[in-house]
Structure 1
């Protein structure tokens, strides 16, 4: 057998090894990635070397029918992204155009594609600065990438990267950060020739306007209550290279919430996306705010305590009662104070007493000297006192 024939057989074996199929399979990270891609937001996949980031992007491009353009950021010069100056005739009057690289020209000709910026954490600060316009404005030199081009990047943690750099805060704040880990079953099935199928989210056309309204109410309502989180640059260099809250990243979070709501994404997928945009702390606070958006208006409860409808879930009921106390504290008068006690009695009639200890204590502290004690307090006193004694008994047993 000739050497050529042997190489041909080797190629046949390699082709058999590389052949694979896909299957629909629940995968929260892959779903979060495809949703962010559909929302046309730049995504940065963080993961240890060899975890499968590049392979996931290759399968994603194949599933979406997009040509994949891979650019290794660390082996390029800043001019490869900002453009190379080309001096033509009469530069003093016509200027000096910035010629884009071939890969950008090919993307524009195709009109669509998946631009994969790999090894981002090994790119020098000068290259990272040149990437700012590519990621945010979709400009490479004098060329604007078409709307059909989506941008996904990948990076290893600086400790695992070869000659790694921390990501600059301006560049980091332009990405939705997703942390890629391996799943045992996915790896085993994939090595067996079957990988999860990446599919774009199915948006419900009847919920588009509703989804936008919900996202705006959620983010705007949360930031109105927590204005200090509108912009918070982390204090450490490592955290500045990840997700953190800014007006830009809150806009990304709003977009992701709208897309996730229209696609009926799970809470876990929304959590990955929101935390990937604004950071873990602010993201988790926003998710908790979702639950409180549909809480009853405390002024409505105070206006008619006997008809008050309180949430069934314990944490939401506690939040509703706390809101009633806060409403009285913000505008205290005798009538509102009495009404708040009536709301607590209503809560006692329709739920458990242990949730009443904190709001009743806080409400009692609001009493003015000339306010008579309402009859409702007498009904609550025994129950709350029993709950407090039970709590002290548990503490004694624990000691």
Structure 2
């Protein structure tokens, strides 16, 4: 339930897998009520492709793909949760029509507001009435969470009432989001074969550039949720105030694992989490402030450090930070010029308006030429 709350707060499309009658729909409705968001429940098994692709009608001598009423209500509200229920009972044609809705928030010719969250629920095909396997393109657009219940939680719910999912809050813009993307990018440099691994048959989560993007957002969001933050921070999708949940330590580690593995699958997800656990990276601000601060020796860690530095500079936006970053790149260039060249290209693209080139750039001439930034 914590992972569901974090996914909704971060505007990550999520799919709950669970047996019938385990409270998936109730949890989503309770979360929407707690957040003050309208919830539109759309059951895939009783819908047609036109309910997602739009019904073609003639308007002003042009064809208009008219959206259904549930989409118009969400658009009018400006926010909300679109709950796609019984996904595995939707036939392949309906699943195909859902693709644009999940990825682009588009229903026919109507664009849903960016703050509309996508939550889906499904029974395993063998437990669903006339169940269908989830199509690979649709599965690759969602974070997959296994929805399980314990006898203890059910017993406590009947005695004391079932709790509504909490609504987390975190600051996940700028440096945090950039650092998470840099870490995922550094990992994929070490394991390039995990960038894309299309399954041969029906599958849930599997790695692709799209799902690595979901994993990076999950990393950034769970890194932001700490007990020390105040209640006025913004979530990654915009300035929407949510009541904060205290999830930290082992609990947040588990939520992070649920979301990352739910995005890219068990093999790739646990390998990324293990790699991140072994990293011991210096803080980017410390490196910019102290030219003699030690740098890691391993190449993958150097990639991660420079990516974090560039992300920090991009979020900071100041000329001073941008100029200091060239000193860090210069130190790396003396040992691993190819790694420095990649970071130099990213840093050069983020040059603040009016910033002058520091003296360190002249020492990097060979590296800049190899990066195509200097004749």
Q: Shorter-chain TM-score category?
A: 0.5 to 0.7
Cα displacement (A) at 1:216: 2.2
Query: Counterparts in 2 of 1:147-226, with a 5 A limit?
Result: 147-203=114-170, 205=171, 209-226=174-191
Q: Establish whether residue 43 from structure 1 lines up as the match of residue 14 from structure 2.
A: yes
CA distance in structure 2 between the partners assigned to 1:122 and 1:291 by the alignment: 39
CA shift for structure 1 position 192: 2.4
CA distance in 1, matches of 2:173, 2:68: 38
* 1:126 correspondence with 2:88: no
* Greater Cα shift, 255-264 or 245-254: 255-264
Distance (whole Å) between structure 2 residues aligned to residue 299 and residue 55 of structure 1? 48
TM-score using structure 2 length: 0.67
SS of the residue corresponding to residue 96 of structure 1 reads: strand
Give 2:23's aligned residue. Answer: 52
Offset of 1:291 from its aligned partner? 1.9
Q: Does 1:233 find its partner at 2:219?
A: no
Q: How does 1:345-384 map to 2 (within 5 A)?
A: none
Aligned to 1:192, the other structure's residue is in SS state: helix
1:1-399 equivalent positions in 2, closer than 5 A: 30-90=1-61, 95-203=62-170, 205=171, 209-237=174-202, 239=203, 242-264=204-226, 265=248, 266-294=252-280, 297-298=296-297
Q: Give the superposition deviation at 1:191.
A: 1.8
Q: Is the 1:37–1:150 Cα contact (8 Å) retained in structure 2?
A: yes
Across the aligned residues of Structure 1 and Structure 2, the Cα RMSD in angstroms comes to 2.0
Shift of 1:247: 0.1
8 Å contact kept, 2:181–2:213: no
Gaps of 5+ in 2: 227-247, 282-294, 300-335, 337-375
Structure with bigger gyration radius: 1
Tell me how many residue pairs correspond in the alignment.
Answer: 264
Greater fraction helix? 1
1:328-383, CA deviations, whole angstroms, 9 ceiling, x for partnerless residues? xxx9xxxxxxxxxxxxxxxxxxxxxxxxxxxxxxxxxxxxxxxxxxxxxxxxxxxx
Check conservation: 2:87, 2:121, Cα contact below 8 A: yes
Deviation at 1:198, TM superposition (A): 1.9
Contact 1:208-1:262 within 8 A present in 2 as well? no
- What's the CA shift for 1:63? 1.1
Q: Which runs of 4+ in 1 moved over 6 A?
A: none
Asked if the contact 2:27/2:164 (under 8 Å) is kept, the reply is no
Structure 1 regions of 5+ residues with no counterpart?
1-29, 301-330, 332-399
